[in-house]
Structure formats: C-alpha cells, structure tokens
Chain A
Amino acid sequence: DTAVSQTPKYLVTQMGNDKSIKCEQNLGHDTMYWYKQDSKKFLKIMFSYNNKELIINETVPNRFSPKSPDKAHLNLHINSLELGDSAVYFCASSQPRTGTSGNTIYFGEGSWLTVV
C-alpha cells in the first residue's frame, strides 16, 4: 500500500564503492524527484524527472546518475562514494495539474546512506 517506496532503507558502505537506491511510486504520478537531507536536516533537491525525462538537475556531482526506466520508477546510482555523501536520500513524486503550478510532493521513507 506504500505510495512511494524506496530501497534499501539503510546502507553502510566504504568510500570508493558504487551503490544504487531504487524508488517506485504507485500513485500514477508523472513527476519524480530525489532530495538529499544532510546532517543539519537541510532538504535539497537533486533531480526531477517528468514522464521519464530529466527536467531538474541541480548542481550535483556527476558521480550521481539518476535513471528512470518508466514514470513509476526513479533510481539513483552513486559512483565512487565519498564521506560527504553520507545523508538521507528521499525519493518523492507529484502530479502536475493543467493550469495549476505548484503541486504536493509525496515523499518516500528515505534511505539512510553512511559512507565509512
């Protein structure tokens, strides 16, 4: 029944490794996002896809590569992990409405990434 689900929930890995976080939404939304929440709790947008197409790409190292095989899935792959990548990564989705800007974003439960 979970609307936005992401796996894994917890991930501990060594510096230099490559890891992926998967996200799926069953809300039928067209837009999906990745947000990063650091230790100070700041929520920063990383990427946004609309119907499999990249529409927002913030200043994120190109070690981070999102992939959207279909509009219900948005995965995040991270190469050569660094200590500073440790954070909570939230997947989210929303549904654009014709004639209305600004739409409610629904978050997944988060993936706690710790790089050691």
Chain B
Amino acid sequence: GENVEQHPSTLSVQEGDSAVIKCTYSDSASNYFPWYKQELGKRPQLIIDIRSNVGEKKDQRIAVTLNKTAKHFSLHITETQPEDSAVYFCAANFGNEKLTFGTGTRLTIIP
C-alpha cells in the first residue's frame, strides 16, 4: 500500500541543539521525498526535498538524508532556533502526481 510513517509525533529540543525526524515509505518505486513545514494556522510550505539519485542534500541548517535500500529518509535541523517550532511533514510520491504525507511531527524549541 501507499504508506509513509513518521516519527516521532512530538519532539522538544533545547534551543541550539539538533532535531532529527525520521520517515519510512512503503513503495520502492518512490523517488521524490519532500519535507514541509507548517506553522500554526498557516499552509504547509516546502523547506527541502531530495530525489532518489542522491543520498544527502543540505541547505544551511537543514539537511535530508535518504537510504533507498532501507526505504527511509530523515530531516536534520542543526542549531535550532525558536522560529523552527512548527509541525513538519515528510512525503513520498506514489506514481507521478500523488504525494502521500506522513502523520507530522510537532517540533517545539525550548528557549
């Protein structure tokens, strides 16, 4: 089936520390893995994505790693700041135009 599992569901991190969120997917044909950030009352917005031809991608304090063999990918946020507090969603494509989202991780940065 088309399944994306995401862990943990909630995560509290001291400001300045790192946060890691993990996802697994069910379809070995999936090849596009975006991460979205949703602030309270706002729309989900893309923060980083990775395709299956690379194992890691970095953008300033945010990085994503992909292990295709194990069918899992992770979001890493370093030097966390209060504005990083939000709900984060991973996603994977099933077929060309269908993105299935994980269940979300509520990240809280403790000042």
Contacts and interface: CB of A to CB of B under 8 A. Distances in A.
Interface residues of B, number: 26
Interface string B17-47: 0000000000000111110001000111110
A41 B46 CA distance: 16
B67 to A, nearest CB: 17
Contact of B99 (A50, A105, A108, A110): A105
Interface stretch (A14-22, A62-70, A95-103): A95-103
B96 to A, nearest CB: 4
Given A107-B43, A107-B44, A108-B43, A55 B97 contact: yes
B43 A43 contact: no
Interface of A: 31, 40-45, 48, 50, 55-56, 90, 94, 96, 101-110
Nearest to B95: A101
A45 B43 contact: no
Contacts, number: 60
Interface of B is mostly: strand
Nearest to B49: A104
Interface stretch (B56-64, B70-78, B100-108): B100-108
B93 to A, nearest CB: 4
Given A41-B104, A43-B89, A103-B32, A48 B43 contact: no
A102 B101 contact: no
A43 B97 contact: no
A102 B42 CA distance: 23
B32 A102 contact: yes
B103 A42 contact: yes
Interface string B80-98: 0000000101000101111
A1 to B, nearest CB: 15
Contact of B98 (A45, A90, A109): A45
Nearest to A101: B96
Task: From A31, A50, A108, A110, name the one whose CB has the most chain B CB atoms within 10 angstroms.
Answer: A110
A90 B43 contact: yes
Of all A-B residue pairs in the complex, the 8 with the closest CB atoms, nearest first, are A102-B32, A102-B93, A107-B43, A43-B101, A101-B96, A41-B104, A109-B43, A107-B44
